[in-house]
Structure 1
Amino acid sequence: MIHLTHARRFWDNDTFSDVAFLRFPPAGFAFAEFDQQDRAVKLAEVAHLRAVKAQTRGVNDPRSVAFARLEQDRGVEQVFPGVDPHTGRGERLYSANSLLTYTLRMLLARGWLHFDGADWQAAVPDDEPVWRDRARAVLALLAHEDRLYLGGALGRRLSTPTDFEGFDVQRDLLPVGRLGFVREFVWRERPRIAFNAAFFLLEHDDFDSHHSALGEAYNLYVRDGVILRPPLHRRAAFYQTPDGCWQAGHISMLAMTVQLPNGALLAPEGSELPGLPFRLNPDGDARVAVYTRTLGLASYGRPQRRTPAAPGRAEYTVVDTRIVSRKVGGELEIPQNGLVLSFSPGVPPHGAISDGGLPRVQYGFAQEVLRGVQQAIQAGPLLLKGGQIALTADSLADEEFWPTRGEQGRTAPLEQGENTPVGVVPTDYPMDTDRTRAGRIGLGVDAEGQLLVVAVPGTERGAHRLESDSAGATLLELAELLAEAGAVDAINLDGGGSTQLFYRGGLATTPGNRYRLPGVQFERMVPTAGALW
């Protein structure tokens, strides 16, 4: 039986929060990924969001270039035969999506891309034949499939001739991955319950790599026993064990194995499993290393964007299960939503990873207690464990949250620019558990095995109406609400403007996005949902 109730909590500072409590049986529950059916709608909405952010920075005439990456990534040779797949830093790209993003970024950065009001053109110098071929191939595909979008205020498609002089490539070129409105997912798939779930790349610091795109989810995702994304950081996950029971706990790459395309197995150093032992984010040399964006936190107090320089080392960039690039010599960029496999000379055996197509890895659980997990999502932090509140003042740091920071290590506005140390996703996230109220949604399980969702809508900063808008909750308040509802294990899911809970086809929470318009509500596109069919 599904049971939904609502309550309103009043706070000492004359604000209030609306709370939705949902309890339901676990049978038929799973996490699902989805994509907006109408590509133009998706691109327009992304352009609208970026225009609002630009206007917040004081830009009067915002413009962005959004493009839809391939919904199903393929190898460079399959999509762009004959095009040179190497970057200027010696990285060999395997992914067609990575080549798309890299090419557009460089065309804009070099001032070669133009829009005449109807068609996109590349004015590549005659002495740059490699770039001329790339530009032709990339623009031909994007134009043929209507994937390239010049957006202005309100996200409207522009037909104004543009030469992009002074264009901010970092902020305003928007590679767009798979995401969509939960409402459309509900209308199309008809689940009884649906709510947002995983964190995803949203801010420009989140998708700073050409292997990344706005909308792409990250961290552990398991569907029907298959590990589709690895746990990049040691964060809280909510997962279903082989006996059908749900629980919450911390999972990291040290709990994982990685199988290469030729079958060779990588296992954590110290594991009793056969295969090549790997070290996670090592300070020094290692025969096999796995690097994530948290590299450098322990040693330098800040994340490192690239792997260490290492002559002769072969390194491979992995996003979800795809091996998207290769480079020799270290200094390979680590994407926010991926990892790098790094091998000393002679390791792995020759031919373990071929240069053709789009090779893939497979993940497994190195820890016996996790083997056979059927469903899982990872977000964090951990809110409840064994019936006790698990939050401490250090919970976010312990789970490797490290937002973009400015001087003296303070959390910085993302508008500070290139000199601000780029954080670890989510790069815009308050580092407290008991002060910041925001839209929140938590997922837990009670002692009888029933699943619980607590959703507390909030309103975006600068647009909150004291008399009419829910103020959200702190992480500690969310944990207390889940405990009040009877949860024994629970985690925090992606919140803020993503917070949305649908029940029997209708929205049971109030959207928190305002786009600088107090009293006006906007739903946010997301890539994943928890759903009960």
Structure 2
Amino acid sequence: MRNRLTTYVHPNGELQRYQIVEAFNWNHARFVTAGFDPRSVTEIARLYRINIVPKLQQSIGLPVFFHVPPDIPLPFPVADEHEVYHDRNVAASIHLNRLAREHHIRWEGSLKADAKEIEAFLSALQNRNLLEAVVQGTNPIRFIALNEKLGFLSSHKSTCIVDTHFFLMDPTDLDSPYCVLGTPHGLALKDGVILNPPLNHRPCLLVDEHGTVSIDVVELTDLSVEIDGTKYRHGDNAVFHFRPEERFTPKTEGTDLIITEDKVVSVRKGGGSTIPMAGFILSVPASLDVADPKVVYHGLEHYAFGIQVGPPMMKDGRIITTLECPFYNAAVDEVPYPSTVYPLPFETARAARIALGNNKEGEPVLIWAEGAPKLSYTPAQDSCGASLLELAQFCEREQFQSIVNLDGGGSAQIILEGKRSLQIADRYASTNLEAERPVPYGLSIV
């Protein structure tokens, strides 16, 4: 594994620093999660307090971030005559938001609930640092659950680790009651096993069993989905509903299986479900119960590795100079789909960037374009950040072959041998020190 740092100087004197890690083995790359870290609640609340609530105060209300661990019992049912919840945080979010809408939960300097068991539940979460309200917001209260994978890459022991996927983050990403902040979206595939399904018609970086790298579009409808030993195929014994084609499933006499990542989060009778932003709904015409919520995907077993996140930068040695794949555009698209605030202008919007693919020798390569510090920027001293076009142009200068853009912004980082060679763009206001953002997935290379 080789590691190098390089600096590109723009004609106006601005600097852009890059870290390139290459010549590792695709067989040694695997998707990992650090597991839920309670500090994620505090960090997400801080990001909302600084960046989001001031801009969206009228529409977002008073956000309350929380995560329910397995050892804290839920004070409400997980099933009724119409729906069975298989995800505790989805169930908690739906019930808590209903109680808030009905004014059975209020903000009175702290969270107050009419029912003692609900107030005790909220207190138990708060005492474990698993709940935090952003009180600069205004009513109504909005409870926002955090994904169980949300943690910090720096806590994971690995030779090299890098953030990978976009994940639900902005309020506009949380468009369905089945949305949980921090849920990754896009294909994650290792040794033929699909950890996360392909969504939103974006291209995937694929590596076959011989190590050949390609960029291709893989659709959810190309796959079969196995639940409780039964395989379902779109248009055969089931219908797959997903964004951007649809926002709701039709009313039916059958059953909706609401799916995110590799699990059924809810089973709803009668249809009329809001499709999750980072998932899809599998509808069957009959009444159906689910014993095991585990979802197994079939159809990509001949690939050793696959990832689907952002747009391609290079394809077969050819630079990509425009956004060659769909992203949500509020002026054009009727149905929102993640990421709803991405992309910014391809040519001009600069940020920290992460990219993955292969170099001119065909070896795997990782790229980190360091972003400008969020609180202050000194030209010709700090990295200015790279637009997607500038990242593509850098990849062309380096003669890289097939490259896709991964997660970026404040999440962008490469940790090699326990250290960062470049700096994270997010900073703490009081100290200007780096503020690591929690993420659901990392790509670990050992």
TM-score by length of 1: 0.73
Q: 1:267-278 maps to which residues of 2 (within 5 A)? A: 267-268=233-234, 276=236
Give the Cα separation in 1 of the matches to 2:279 and 2:109. 37
Give the Cα separation in 2 of the matches to 1:382 and 1:63. 37
Deviation, structure 1 residue 341: 1.0
Change (3 A) 1:67 1:495: same
Q: Is the 8 A contact 1:316 1:341 kept in 2?
A: yes
Aligned residues: 442
Give the Cα separation in 1 of the matches to 2:185 and 2:358. 23
2:327 pairs with one of 378, 383, 401? 401
Q: Secondary structure at the match of 1:31?
A: strand
Deviation, structure 1 residue 183: 1.7
Q: Is the 8 A contact 2:205 2:403 kept in 1?
A: yes
Q: Is the 8 A contact 1:463 1:514 kept in 2?
A: no
Deviation sequence 1:422-450 (CA, Å, 0-9, x none): 73111111354322222111111135431
Deviation, structure 1 residue 192: 1.9
Are 1:257 and 2:209 an aligned pair?
no
Q: Is the 8 A contact 1:108 1:167 kept in 2?
A: no
Q: 1:219-368 maps to which residues of 2 (within 5 A)? A: 219-263=186-230, 265-268=231-234, 276=236, 288-295=238-245, 304-307=246-249, 309-343=250-284, 345-346=285-286, 353-356=288-291, 358-365=292-299
Deviation sequence 1:79-123 (CA, Å, 0-9, x none): 659826249xx54433222111112222222222257778x6421
Q: Is the 8 A contact 1:235 1:382 kept in 2?
A: no
Deviation, structure 1 residue 12: 4.1
Are 1:527 and 2:440 an aligned pair?
yes
Q: Name which structure has the greater RCO, CA cutoff 8 Å, separation 6+.
A: 2
Give the Cα separation in 2 of the matches to 1:58 and 1:259. 40
Corresponding residue for 2:113? Answer: 122
Deviation, structure 1 residue 52: 0.7
Are 1:423 and 2:336 an aligned pair?
yes
Deviation sequence 1:365-424 (CA, Å, 0-9, x none): 1xxxx43223322112122222112x25351xxx33105x3xx559xxxxxxxxxx7731
Matched AA of 1:290 = F
1:108 pairs with one of 100, 105, 117? 100
Corresponding residue for 1:149? Answer: 132
Q: Is the 8 A contact 1:86 1:93 kept in 2?
A: no
Q: 1:432-447 maps to which residues of 2 (within 5 A)? A: 432-447=345-360
User: Greater shift after overlay, 504-513 or 92-101?
Assistant: 92-101
Q: 1:2-13 maps to which residues of 2 (within 5 A)? A: 2-13=1-12
Larger radius of gyration: 1
Q: Is the 8 A contact 1:293 1:424 kept in 2?
A: yes
Q: 1:90-239 maps to which residues of 2 (within 5 A)? A: 90-114=82-106, 121-124=112-115, 135=118, 139=122, 142=125, 147-150=130-133, 166-170=138-142, 173-177=143-147, 178-185=149-156, 189=157, 191-239=158-206
Matched AA of 1:363 = Y
Corresponding residue for 1:83? Answer: 77
Matched AA of 1:354 = D
Deviation sequence 1:27-81 (CA, Å, 0-9, x none): 5532333235642x2221111111112564397xx96422114479xxxxx9659
Give the Cα separation in 1 of the matches to 2:201 and 2:386. 24
Are 1:510 and 2:440 an aligned pair?
no
Matched AA of 1:223 = K
Q: CA RMSD in A?
A: 3.4
Change (3 A) 1:460 1:428: farther
Are 1:375 and 2:280 an aligned pair?
no
Deviation, structure 1 residue 26: 0.9
Are 1:50 and 2:51 an aligned pair?
no
Give the Cα separation in 1 of the matches to 2:248 and 2:377. 39
Give the Cα separation in 1 of the matches to 2:388 and 2:426. 19
Corresponding residue for 1:479? Answer: 392
Q: Secondary structure at the match of 2:258?
A: strand
Identity within the alignment, %: 24
Q: Secondary structure at the match of 1:228?
A: strand
Q: Secondary structure at the match of 1:470?
A: coil
Q: Is the 8 A contact 1:247 1:445 kept in 2?
A: no
Q: Is the 8 A contact 2:37 2:152 kept in 1?
A: no
TM-score by length of 2: 0.86
Deviation, structure 1 residue 494: 0.8
Are 1:470 and 2:345 an aligned pair?
no
Q: Is the 8 A contact 2:275 2:281 kept in 1?
A: yes
Q: Is the 8 A contact 1:193 1:532 kept in 2?
A: yes
Deviation sequence 1:444-496 (CA, Å, 0-9, x none): 11354311112112237785443433122222222232233342111110111
Give the Cα separation in 1 of the matches to 2:248 and 2:204. 27
Q: Secondary structure at the match of 1:312?
A: strand
Change (3 A) 1:461 1:426: farther
Give the Cα separation in 1 of the matches to 2:335 and 2:37. 33
